[in-house]
């Protein structure tokens, strides 16, 4: 069960790093993309609950407790986390769309 949990967390981390476009994440596996990472996360989670639902629930509970302990007990770091990277990526794509729309010419009839 812990092997499946390890695969689930590893695939989830790869998925989040890929969709956030983290510049330091450069996987060398030829067939890697965000779809395979998401599929690996889903398959690992499904296999855990297919093998034994009670132990899978216990492992997920232990994982959440460990995550919360690490999150709240560790000293603050000077670098960002995945959620900040996702927000930055979304803002940059919105700025790109804003730059595109601001470069369009405005017809004289639309000016109030």
Per-residue model confidence as pLDDT tens digits over 9-58: 999 999 998 988 877 888 888 889 999 999 999 999 999 999 999 999 99
Q: Residue 55 phi/psi, 5° resolution?
A: -65, -35
Asked whether the predicted pLDDT for residue 8 surpasses 80, the reply is: yes
- List b or e across 52-71, with b for residues whose CB sees 16 or more CB atoms inside 10 angstroms: eeeebeebeeeeeeeeeeee
Q: Which residues contact 20 (CB under 8 A, 6 or more apart)?
A: 82, 85, 86, 88, 89
The domain segmentation of the chain, as residue ranges, is 2-110
């Amino acid at each position: 069960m812990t092997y499946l949990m390890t695969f689930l967390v590893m695939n989830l981390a790869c998925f989040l790093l890929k969709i956030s476009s983290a510049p330091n994440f450069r996987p060398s596996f030829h067939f890697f993309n965000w779809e395979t990472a998401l599929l690996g996360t889903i398959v690992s989670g499904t296999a855990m609950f297919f093998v034994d639902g009670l132990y899978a629930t216990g492992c997920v509970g232990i994982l959440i407790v460990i995550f919360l302990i690490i999150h709240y007990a560790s000293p603050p770091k000077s670098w960002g986390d995945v959620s900040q990277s996702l927000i930055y990526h979304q803002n940059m794509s919105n700025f790109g769309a804003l730059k595109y729309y601001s470069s369009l010419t405005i017809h004289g009839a639309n000016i109030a």
